[in-house]
Structure 1
Amino acid sequence: MPSKLDQLKAMTVVVADTGDMAAIEAYRPTDCTTNPTLILKAAEMPAYQDHVAEAVRWAAGQGGDRAARIAAACDRLAVTFGAELTRRVPGRVSTEVDADLSFDTRATIEKARAIIAAYAARGVPRERILIKIAATWEGIRAAETLQKEGIDCNLTLLFSLVQAAAAAEAGAFLISPFVGRILDWYRKSTGQDYTAETDPGVLSVRRIYTYYKAHGLGTVVMGASFRNLGEIEALAGCDRLTIAPALLDQLAKDEGRLVRVLDPEAAARDAKPARIAVDEAAFRWALNEDAMATEKLAEGIRLFAADLAKLRALVGARLDA
């Protein structure tokens, strides 16, 4: 029997959640996602020191003050990794806008345009790139503008149905609901453990998937942030799933039968969820009423911003040397 990874690929687009080139080549996903945490990890690996050195050398010749040169080097490093990844996957590569811009619509738009321009300078067309943006109200509005310009967006740090509904109404190409981080919050909050079928993160993605299919919304649902194989198997059939190398390895070694759980035709036929209002007031109120989503969104932005700060410190030290 084929491995569970091969079975999953037959029903879901498998995306690698890593910046490690070796892992990409080993598991041959269709797409790849990165974020500040993954870029930081890759930048600290011996195999990628040439990439770091090149970005620092390039930034040293740029204008602006030290902070501007550090930021330029970090942007170049992210695009360097992304461009390498486009040569290793046939589909899309996600590159993230700085987390500290999560509440600034205009700055997010400008950064996204600069990222796309940097890829274009390397011969990578925008059709190969997804711009990752935190699913704040401001981030969703930025995605709305970018999508109209033909720049496809991946709205990340998504923990609630109202975020998903607003993202779809804005025309976002893709959303990344975070399964494992939702589970983390409920484990800590309730002191309980959960099976794959009761996992709050799994149930959240299933609700979003059903809502999209029932209302004919074209935004892609890509489950992310998995803690175990059970979560992945419980979402088999989802549009896309982005999976870390350790879990890809487990899937590749498991030859058990994988059952399809999510099916677009069944969801569209059987489900009748109400359409959600997505104006700013309703969005902010619904998010405020969801303690888990509010806390995990804020925490996720802080964590990505902290790792971006570490990356800037690493680059700054090299720039000063």
Structure 2
Amino acid sequence: MNQLNDLKKFTRIVVDSGDISEISAYKPSDATTNPSLILKTIFIPGYKKLIQDAIHYGKQHGRSEKDKIIYASDKIVVNIGAEILKHIPGRVSSEIDARISFDQFLCIEKAKRIINMYEDLGISRSKVLIKLAATWECIQAARELEKDNINCNLTLLFSFAQAKACAEANVFLISPFVGRIYDWYYENKLIEKYHSSIDPGVLSVKKIYSYYKKHNYKTIIMGASFRNIEQILELSGCDCLTISPVLLEKLQNNSNRVTRKLIPSDRIIKPTSCLTEPNFRWEHNQDRMAVEKLSEGIRQFSLDQEKLEKILYSMF
């Protein structure tokens, strides 16, 4: 027995990687990808055929040079996701272009295109989660997509307002970013003595978990972006945790027992109100950390998307 296997008793484990060798090593239920991870995998020798296929697809479907690159980059996400699904029993999360995170209707259009690409490969939409940044626009896009049985993973989630809005929109899954919350507090010198039980990222997920379970929301909580195994173990019992291969290895090599920390409430209370768009924007705006980290995350994923497109352009 090791901590990874012990943790699997309480929590669904998801690997945060696009590399098949890493995914196969830890036998997770599911896997998540993002533009940064896709960028890292593009030169893996085993993926060469997937990249070539994506470029061919782009040339076939795009009208302009720009369209060809966009179609090719979408196809890479789908091809890598399809390959990952051969090695896991559950779902893969595939992220859409972060540059459209403030356009509800473009997000819906892009999500449907990606789902159609998966279905053209014979992969059911029930095996895919569309990842969207947790902006107001993306949350509303997810609300509509869920009605069409396109399940969504709302990522870059830092504020309680984002979590509430996602639950009220019946989003399938959210990914609160534990490590990036911690980073902000550390960089702003707001952490004096550290202990995982009072880690601000950990406390954020605990608050969301308590709220969701108390009000019987069905949205799955998947803690993400961990900096150490202490953060992970403090959230044992969370619905899901997506963990990097580096930290999965540490858990696998540790024989200490894992104690469940998060337990659902046995008392259900009906929610009393729903967030309007002005309420959401005001509440989210009150959390400086969340405002800064959401903006930063969208910018970083956008930059990685642009890097990917430049690489593809050089291959055309």
Q: TM-score, normalised by structure 1?
A: 0.95
Question: Corresponding residue for 2:206?
Answer: 206
8 Å Cα contact 1:211-1:273 kept in structure 2: no
For structure 2, which runs of at least 5 residues remain unmatched after alignment?
Answer: none
- Report 1:282-301 matches (<5 A): 282-301=279-298
User: What is the distance in 1 between the residues matched to 2:96 and 2:47?
Assistant: 21
- Report 1:35-184 matches (<5 A): 35-184=34-183
8 Å Cα contact 1:59-1:70 kept in structure 2: yes
- In the alignment, which of 290, 296, 309 is matched to residue 312 of structure 1? 309
8 Å Cα contact 2:62-2:71 kept in structure 1: no
Question: Corresponding residue for 2:9?
Answer: 10
Q: How many Å apart are 1:22 and its aligned residue?
A: 0.4
8 Å Cα contact 2:160-2:284 kept in structure 1: no
Q: How many residue pairs align between the two structures?
A: 315
Q: How many Å apart are 1:192 and its aligned residue?
A: 2.9
Paired residue type of 1:233: L
Please state whether the residue corresponding to 1:110 is helix, strand or coil.
helix
Q: How many Å apart are 1:58 and its aligned residue?
A: 2.7
Question: Corresponding residue for 1:256?
Answer: 256
Question: Corresponding residue for 1:280?
Answer: 277
Question: Corresponding residue for 1:226?
Answer: 226
User: What is the distance in 2 between the residues matched to 1:179 and 1:120?
Assistant: 33
How far does the alpha carbon of each residue in 1:264-301 deviate from its partner, in whole angstroms, 9 at most, with x for none? 1xx344x9898564110100001111000000000000
RMSD of equivalent CA atoms: 1.5
8 Å Cα contact 2:168-2:274 kept in structure 1: no
Paired residue type of 2:166: A
Q: How many Å apart are 1:86 and its aligned residue?
A: 1.1
The percentage of counterpart residues that share the same residue type is 48
Please state whether the residue corresponding to 2:182 is helix, strand or coil.
helix
Paired residue type of 1:282: N
Q: Residues 268, 283 of structure 1: CA spacing in aligned structure 2 closer, same or farther, 3 A cutoff?
A: farther
User: What is the distance in 2 between the residues matched to 1:72 and 1:189?
Assistant: 40
8 Å Cα contact 1:162-1:276 kept in structure 2: no
- Displaced runs of 4 or more, over 6 A: 271-274
Greater shift after overlay, 62-71 or 3-12?
Answer: 62-71
User: What is the distance in 1 between the residues matched to 2:24 and 2:214?
Assistant: 36
User: What is the distance in 2 between the residues matched to 1:182 and 1:42?
Assistant: 26
For structure 1, which runs of at least 5 residues remain unmatched after alignment?
Answer: none
Question: Corresponding residue for 1:239?
Answer: 239
Please state whether the residue corresponding to 1:197 is helix, strand or coil.
helix
8 Å Cα contact 2:236-2:259 kept in structure 1: yes
8 Å Cα contact 2:93-2:128 kept in structure 1: yes
Q: Residues 268, 135 of structure 1: CA spacing in aligned structure 2 closer, same or farther, 3 A cutoff?
A: farther
Paired residue type of 1:62: H
Q: Residues 286, 64 of structure 1: CA spacing in aligned structure 2 closer, same or farther, 3 A cutoff?
A: same
User: What is the distance in 2 between the residues matched to 1:190 and 1:277?
Assistant: 34
Q: Residues 91, 206 of structure 1: CA spacing in aligned structure 2 closer, same or farther, 3 A cutoff?
A: same
Q: Residues 202, 176 of structure 1: CA spacing in aligned structure 2 closer, same or farther, 3 A cutoff?
A: same
Q: How many Å apart are 1:190 and its aligned residue?
A: 2.0
Q: How many Å apart are 1:48 and its aligned residue?
A: 1.9
Q: Residues 268, 190 of structure 1: CA spacing in aligned structure 2 closer, same or farther, 3 A cutoff?
A: farther
Q: How many Å apart are 1:237 and its aligned residue?
A: 0.5
User: What is the distance in 2 between the residues matched to 1:211 and 1:268?
Assistant: 12
User: What is the distance in 2 between the residues matched to 1:275 and 1:189?
Assistant: 35
8 Å Cα contact 2:15-2:245 kept in structure 1: yes
